[in-house]
Every structure is written in C-alpha cells, then in structure tokens.
Amino acid sequence: MPLKTLQIAVVGGSEEAVLVGLRNFPAHKLAILSTSDYVSQANQLSGRLKDNLKLAVDVVQLKDASIPTMLETVGQLIRRESAIFQDFLINVGSATKHLTCAGVTAAFVYGIKAFDVMGDQPAALPVMRFSYAQAVTRPKLEILRAIDRAGGDVESLERLSGLSNFGKPLLSYHIRGSGGGGGLEDLGLVEVERGKRGRLRVKLTALGRTLLSSSPASQSA
C-alpha cells in the first residue's frame, strides 16, 4: 500500500519554493509553518492551493523562529498526523535563515527527510540514520528531566540517583552507554566531567535542553 505523505513547508519568502516541493515530491496534505511576519502570505497561498490543486492545507503560525518552537510544532504535527500519514517531508526552500536552521534541526531530531530548493530544483538534505526521538528511551528521558529539575547541572551520580530513582550502575549505563555507544553522552545530550573525589558531574547540553522542550509528557521505552 503506498505511503501517505504529509509535506511540511516552512514559509518565509518565496512561494515558488513551496510549489517546487509539491511538483517533485508526494503530498497528500500540506502543513505551512510561518511566523507572524509571513502568516498573511501563508494564508493566501493556502487558499490558492486548496482552490487550484484541491489539496488539504493547514497553516500553523509559529510564535517565533527559534529551534525549540520549531521542534515543538513539528513534534506536535507528527504525533497528531502519524495515524494517517506514514511519511513526512520538510521543505525549507522558502524559509528565512533562522527558520531554515530550525527546520533542518527538526528533521534531524525527528529523523525525517528535508530538502532545500535551488532555483526550480529540489536539493535533498542528508538523511540521518536515526532520530533522537527514537534513540532516547523512556529511562533516558527521565534522567534528562531529573537533571533539568536540578537546574541542568548535577554534581554527582549519588545526587542524580536520588533525583531520578535510578541506581548508580543503571545511571552510568544510560549516561555513558555500553561498548557500542548509545548513552546520553554519546548522543550529545549531556556533558560528563570528573569532579572532586572522582565524582561524575553531569550537565545538560543545549541539544539536551532543546530535546526536552519538544518531548511529550511520556515516551515509549
């Protein structure tokens, strides 16, 4: 059975880039993401696409052009639409510089395909082998939240054990990973330093904070 595709177009300028994406990739529905500066343009484009192509189109206004806002918005779209759509694409060809950065980051975090537009041709961006949303299991997410509750910096595994209700060996496994990697440190979500008396100090990175800001209240193990 063919996959149903939701295209996500980040609009901040050229409407033609949106049309290039629709001509070159499947789209059973289009979600246009735009800040307040371009929401009028987005609504006008939506109306034309609905009339001319009979395409289902949603316009979502972003509160700002930041990465956390984009992550939250794209994450909500994926969770809401995943029962209907099996494939997601992000088109950043029409986006401003900041929105492009945010859109590409969202594709990276959620492990979905993204493309830019050069002239009248799409340019596919590299696809990640995994998404952070899949790599960060429920225990890892709970550990990240415990560190966040402590202000993003925990001076020892002993304290983190009390905050997270995980024993030190399990904390060490989830933070530092096994021989094959996969720990929070390997994923770039925390930094680990050896402090006083050999204690391990664990701090959230900017990526760790960003991921937390976009994560739902619960996550599969």
| Contact present, 19 and 27 (Cβ < 8 Å) | no
Q: Say if 53 falls within a structural domain.
A: yes
Residues 113, 84 share a domain: yes
Report how far Cα 33 is from the mean position of its chain's Cα atoms: 14
For residue 133, the model assigns a pLDDT of 65
Which one, of 161, 140, 158, lies nearest residue 204 by Cα?
140
Domain that holds residue 50: 5-124
Q: Model-level pTM?
A: 0.72
Which one, of 93, 147, 136, 144, lies nearest residue 111 by Cα?
136
Report how far Cα 186 is from the mean position of its chain's Cα atoms: 18
Of 101, 124, 147, which residue constitutes the final position of a domain?
A: 124
Which one, of 136, 78, 66, lies nearest residue 105 by Cα?
66
CATH number at residue 98: 3.40.50.10770
Per-residue pLDDT of the chain (221 residues; tens, 9 = 90+): 678 999 999 999 889 999 999 999 999 999 999 999 999 999 999 999 999 999 999 999 999 999 889 988 998 999 899 999 999 999 999 999 999 999 998 998 888 999 999 999 999 998 665 566 667 889 999 999 999 999 999 999 999 999 999 999 999 999 998 766 679 998 889 999 987 777 899 999 878 887 787 666 544 44
For residue 219, the model assigns a pLDDT of 46
Residues 152, 112 share a domain: no
For residue 220, the model assigns a pLDDT of 41
